[in-house]
Amino acid sequence: MSLISSIQTTLSTHCPSKKAKPAPVENIAIIGAGLSGLTLALALHQHSIPCTIYEARPAPLNIGGAIMLSPNALRILDHLGVYGRIRDEGYAFDKLYFRSPADQPLDAYEFGGEDEYGYRGLRIYRHVLIRELSAMVAEANIPVYYRRKFVRVVTESETDVTWEFEDGDTASAACLVGADGIHSRVRRYLYPDLEPKFTNAMGVTAAVPTAQLQLQVPGEYNLPVTIMNKQHGAFVIAPQQRDGSEVLIGRQKRAPELDQEGWSRLMGDKAWCVDFLRQGAADFPEVVQRAVSEIAPDSINVWPFYVVPKLDTWSSARGRVVILGDAAHAIPPSAGQGINQAFEDVYTYALIVAKCDRDYVEKALKVWQRGRQERVDKVLALNAQIDRRRMPKPAGQEDAEDDDKPFELGWLYKPDFDEMVEGWLREDAAVVSS
């Protein structure tokens, strides 16, 4: 019997979809109390799987700009009871718009829609979501330990894993999940020599009052919008706050890589950041010129863009150490799916662990990663399609219909994740029976 067939036979026996209840995993340790880690804790708690969160910072993260949540992620947050607590604290919208340097409409991309997808897109401040997730974790009596910086895995066996903190203390659990971001320390156990790759690009953003743009939001000038410009790159304007009374403004540029101290210095150089946001403003529509006329230095953020190459595995050989979200895959921002795919990771991981016997976690994770990688690959293909539509077409291909067809996004925004996981397991059983 082949290795794959052996895995599939074991899963069909030890990951029953409906009948026999598997012996559960006793406890899972989560490294990172960010969006992924907190959401994973709630998902595990929903399946009565004990978990503990360890965070290097001294307190919940209360900084960071707004993020965009699409229907696939909002469906997960709704199922976990989070959506009702955040829905009225963000800006709801249905489409992302693109305009020419002459301020003419170019394209639109659906990011939600209550009638079509069940949810409108939601732009919400990261710290608001962290606040509500943290409150729900506390209400569920899930332990969270701050100032506990993960350093390394000490030992891993067939049944558990032991790791070390910066102060020399150790702890053990049945499974250890690295939800600790693109610069993940947990990932070093799986890939000791891997470092995130800098894309030679960075973004600078700020927040300004919408009134400064002299626009009615919502109104005839559709937002969020990306205004294209071949010479200076794109300029983004995206409403924030429930009533759209504030907008994010931002631009990207090519840049050399800096070390952590260098990025901190650049972040602290507010005058440079303001100058960059205003650079070439006269070559943009008047709305951009108004947007950069007054910029509060304390609203500025600098974001260096890093990616992680496609990884062969997201878990250790024994399946007791796992990475997910930004630690496992990097998704460019074209389709706005970075954090949304991380939420898919944590929700489906919790489902797989809940359905499978604790002694067969490593085999279950192979099925989970294969299913998740297929979704991530489709998102990457969607990103490429979006990018082609935003870029000028080569001479002689201006009238090509290649990527001008409407996007079909039901597969992305309307999945039933419980059925999806059941399908992954059924497909494996079907292969064996065939």
* 3-state secondary structure string across 199-222: EEEEEEEEEEEHHHHCCCCCCCCC
Report the pLDDT value the prediction gives residue 12, as an integer from 0 to 100: 47
Give me 353's structure tokens: 């662990």
297: domain CATH number is 3.30.9.30
Lowest mean pLDDT among 2-11, 137-146, 231-240, 335-344: 2-11
Task: Give CA torsion, residues 313, 379, 41, 182, to 10 deg.
Answer: 60
Pair 69, 212 in one domain: no
Same domain, 79 and 190: yes
Residue 375 lies in a domain: yes
Higher pLDDT: 283 or 358? It is 283
CATH of the domain at 78: 3.50.50.60
pLDDT value at 10 more than 50: no
Amino acid code (one letter) for 217: V
Place of tokens 């995130």: 196
Kindly state whether residues 296 and 312 are assigned to the same domain. no
Judgement on whether residues 152 and 258 belong to the same structural domain of the protein: no
Domain-located, residue 100: no
- 333 and 400 in a single domain? The answer is yes
Q: Is 114 contained in some domain? A: no
- Flag whether 106 is in a domain: no
Judge whether 416 lies within some domain.
yes
pLDDT confidence band for 151 (50 / 70 / 90): very high
Residue reference for tokens 């201006």: 398
Q: What is the pLDDT of residue 361?
A: 82
Q: Is residue 104 part of a domain?
A: no
Closest CA to 417 of 368, 378, 381: 368
Q: Is the pLDDT of residue 434 over 50?
A: no
State the DSSP code for 325: G
What 3-state DSSP class applies to 125? strand
Residue ranges in 155-243 assigned as alpha helix (H): 187-190
The domain boundary residue, chosen from 305, 340, 360 = 305
Same domain, 159 and 127: yes
Cβ atoms of 354 and 24 within 8 Å: the answer is: yes
d(CA 15, CA 355): 5
Question: Cα–Cα distances in Å, from 305 out to 237, 263, 328?
Answer: 19, 12, 16
The confidence score (pLDDT) of residue 390 equals 60
Look at residue 334 and tell me if it is in a domain: yes
Query: For the chain, what is the domain count?
Result: 2
Q: Would you say residue 5 has pLDDT above 50?
A: no
Mark whether 317 and 287 lie in a shared domain.
no
d(CA 328, CA 190): 11
Q: Tell me: pLDDT of 400 over 70.
A: no
Residue 108 lies in a domain: no
End position of a domain, from candidates 305, 332, 364: 305
Given 305, 339, 356, the domain boundary residue is: 305
90 contacts: CB under 8 Å, gap ≥ 6: 66, 69, 122, 123, 124, 125, 128, 241, 242
Say whether pLDDT at 62 is over 80: no
Which are the contacts of 133, defined by CB distance < 8 A and separation ≥ 6? 35, 38, 39, 42, 82
Residue 338, domain extent: 3-91+119-196+308-433
Q: What is the dihedral of CA 342, 346, 351, 355, to 10 degrees?
A: 120
Mean pLDDT of 20-46: 89
- Among 146-155, 206-215, 395-404, the range scoring the smallest mean pLDDT is 395-404
Span 77-95, pLDDT tens digits: 999 999 999 999 999 999 9
Q: In the prediction, which pLDDT does 430 show?
A: 43
Rounded Cα distance, 181 and 132, in Å: 20
> Is the whole-model pTM more than 0.95?
no
Pair (208, 137) in one structural domain: no
Report yes or no: 14 and 24 within 8 Å, Cβ to Cβ. Answer: no
Dist. CA 208–CA 308, nearest whole Å: 32
323 and 296 part of one domain: no
78 and 165, same domain (yes or no): yes
Mean pLDDT, the chain, integer: 88
> What are the pLDDT digits (tens) for 276-313?
999 999 999 999 999 999 999 999 999 898 888 999 99
Pair 347, 278 in one domain: no
> What whole-number distance in Å separates Cα of residue 129 and Cα of residue 135?
10
Average pLDDT score over residue span 373-397: 76
Mean pLDDT of 382-397: 66
Is residue 422 very low, low, confident or very high in pLDDT (cuts 50, 70, 90)? very high
**One domain, residues 184 and 38:** yes
Q: Which of 3-17, 210-224, 254-268 has the highest mean pLDDT?
A: 254-268
User: By CB neighbour count within 10 A (0-12 exposed, 13-18 middle, 19+ buried), where does 395 fall?
Assistant: exposed
pLDDT for residue 253 = 86
DSSP assigned state of 231: T
